[in-house]
Amino acid sequence: MGLAKWNKKDLIYMRDEGYKIVPCGDESEAIRLKEVLQLDKKCAQAGKVINQEGKEIFFVCTKNRVKRGV
């Protein structure tokens, strides 16, 4: 199972939208954290970014769910 590949522009956009970006040590940690956050009723997306040295950095973007009225 692979994670979505993001770029710096995507992360800046998500931060501006109110998401918190939580760095993770590896892919499995990112997936576990995403699942835990979703069970806790929070929006969560796991992904990875490749930096200039070619190293993969894993993360989870999270935000409290917003209830919308009618």
Residue 33 lies in a domain: yes
Best CA proximity match to 64, nearest among 35, 38, 43: 43
The number of domains in the chain is 1
Residue 38 lies in a domain: yes
Task: Identify the pLDDT of residue 49.
Answer: 95
Q: What tens digit of pLDDT does each residue of 10-30 get?
A: 999 999 999 999 999 999 999
Residue 41 lies in a domain: yes
Judge if pTM exceeds 0.95. no
Residue 53 lies in a domain: yes
Q: Which domain holds residue 8?
A: 4-64
Residue 69 lies in a domain: no
Residue 46 lies in a domain: yes
Residue 70 lies in a domain: no
Q: What tens digit of pLDDT does each residue of 52-70 get?
A: 999 999 999 998 877 776 6
Task: Share the mean pLDDT of the chain.
Answer: 90
